[in-house]
Structure 1
Amino acid sequence: MHSVKLYTRKNCPLCEQAELVIDMVLEDCLFQYEAIDIETSDDLTERFGLMIPVIVVDGEILQYGQVDYVTLSEKLSGKTLND
């Protein structure tokens, strides 16, 4: 099972949009999901502060800034939507 982490912060419209995308993908794919507030750690804030939201799948950054359904869904399902 894939592991998805969303690095986020409060009052971030792009982060809220990313959460909606994750919720939509969860309807089609099974994966473990964790949202992490970067403001709980100076290290995370330094690492991701200018990039959020950041989607990490199985330990690798998949997307940051703008998160889209197609990219996340294809990664988690292992196939393209045109298949």
Structure 2
Amino acid sequence: MNRLTLLTTRECHLCEAARADLDRVARETGVAWAEVDVADDAALAREYGDRLPVVLLDGREHGYWDVDVPRLKKDLAAGA
């Protein structure tokens, strides 16, 4: 299981920037990430649909709409 998950959906204009940020974090930390399209899961779509993209760290919401890269890297290093 990846520590980082990016929740997205089709035609999400903020998702490209979030992907680029997570790619950068992955390169710098060695932590892989996965992407999940909430359109494929009704429960996720109901919960997160109006505030995508969402970054999950170890299954918990870490942030939404954009990636706070410094905070994310700090939390990854701390094992949060």
TM-score range, shorter chain: 0.7 to 0.9
* TM-score (normalised: structure 2): 0.86
Residue aligned with 1:27, SS = helix
The structure with more radius of gyration: 1
Contact 1:2 1:76 in 2 (8 A): no
| Cα deviation, residue 56, structure 1 | 0.5
Letter of the structure 2 residue corresponding to residue 71 of structure 1: R
Q: Deviations over 1:19-53 (max 9, x none)?
A: 00000001111223110000011111101101111
User: Can you give the 5+ residue segments of structure 2 that lack an aligned partner in the other structure?
Assistant: none
Which residue number corresponds to residue 36 of structure 2?
A: 36
TM-score, length-scaled by structure 1: 0.83
Dislocated runs of 4+, deviation >6 Å: none
The percentage of aligned residue pairs carrying the same residue is 28
- Taking only aligned residues, the RMSD between alpha carbons, in angstroms, comes to 1.9
Conserved in 1, the CA contact under 8 Å of 2:55 and 2:64?
yes
Q: CA deviation at 1:70?
A: 1.2
2:7 match: secondary structure: strand
Distance 1:72 1:54 in 2: 13
Note the residue ranges of structure 1 that are not aligned, 5 or more in a row.
Answer: 79-83
**Counterparts of 1:34 and 1:27, CA distance in 2:** 14
SS of 1:51 mapped into structure 2: coil
The answer to whether the 8 Å contact 1:7/1:53 transfers is yes
SS at match of 2:55: strand
